[in-house]
Amino acid sequence: MRDLTVTGDKGTPALKGVSLGVQSGEILGIAGVSGNGQKELAEASAVCAGWTGVRLN
């Protein structure tokens, strides 16, 4: 994933310019303080992986 930008539920940028790579067999962990874009990063990662109908609560 390169230069990912995602708008959050409130219409403000949740992620801006995020780039990361995960190789086959690796596990990606996402952690942080509430409100820092973890949910948006997880959803965008799932979509980039080809998953459909993904929505995290």
Checking if the pLDDT of 10 tops 80, the result is: yes
pTM of the model: 0.69
Checking if the pLDDT of 6 tops 70, the result is: yes
Q: What is the pLDDT of residues 16-57, one digit of tens each?
A: 999 988 888 888 888 989 888 888 888 888 877 777 766 666
Q: What is residue 34's DSSP assignment?
A: T
Burial category of 41 from C-beta neighbours within 10 Å (exposed 0-12, middle 13-18, buried 19 and up): buried
Q: What is residue 37's DSSP assignment?
A: S
